Amino acid sequence: MENSEKIKIAINGGIGFGSKLNAKQLATISNYMDEKEELELNTFQQLYVEIPTAKQEEIIEEFTQAGLACYPVGNFVKSLRTCNFCKGEEAEGMPMAKELNRRIAGRPVPITLKAAYTGCALGCGEPMLSDIGVMKNRDRYNLYVGGKAKGKDAKVGSLLLENLSPEELYEVVEKIIAGYAATGKKRETFYKYTKRIGIPHLMG
């Protein structure tokens, strides 16, 4: 591609069962890559790709038309990580997961925040190891916070609330993220934030 100022964005195939892309989406992405350029796959089920800043809006619109979801890169809430294997859209609660992702992904925070969702107790989406994790339990949802997947102090998240309706879940998660964005220290991870203020005080 021509030399020009570029911006890095994160993309994926939208919220579904794992991180999947179809041929049309791959072809669309490749239109904006040179032969020697590479895609970077992160642990949030996203691909990082660099696009010309001058054509950012135009390219993002083209990606969106191909069914790709686009997100900012940096200190934001990442797109919701989901299960890899299950296929039952309604049974596994994917409509709720898509709406939760729409509400929180891309919000600015002190440092990258990882959220995850799983449709059953197997936890394939790794909600217990994420900053904020949601696990479906029949027709209700359990909310976990403060998980940490890396380091010698890695830990499973703590159960904050259980048996939430979708609307209750949206409200609580948005309130927690808003509090973290407002009172978290610069580059303070959500894990450290929960330790500093105490999990019972996450909702104010």
Are residues 176 and 145 in contact, defined by beta-carbon separation less than 8 angstroms?
yes
pLDDT per residue of the chain (204 residues) written in tens, 0 to 9:
456 799 999 999 988 655 678 999 999 999 998 888 888 888 888 999 999 999 999 999 999 999 999 999 999 999 999 876 665 555 578 889 999 999 999 999 999 999 999 988 878 888 999 999 999 998 999 999 999 999 999 999 999 999 999 999 999 999 999 999 999 999 999 999 999 999 999 987
Are residues 40 and 47 in contact, defined by beta-carbon separation less than 8 angstroms?
yes
Per-residue pLDDT tens digits for 24-55: 999 999 999 888 888 888 888 899 999 999 99
- DSSP 8-state assignment for residue 45: S
- Sequence-separated (6 or more) residues with CB below 8 Å from residue 84: 17, 18, 19, 124, 125
Q: pTM for this one? A: 0.89
Rounded to an integer, what distance in angstroms lies between the CA atom of residue 134 and that of residue 119?
Answer: 8
* Domains within the chain, CATH numbers bracketed: 6-72 (3.30.70), 94-201 (3.30.413.10)
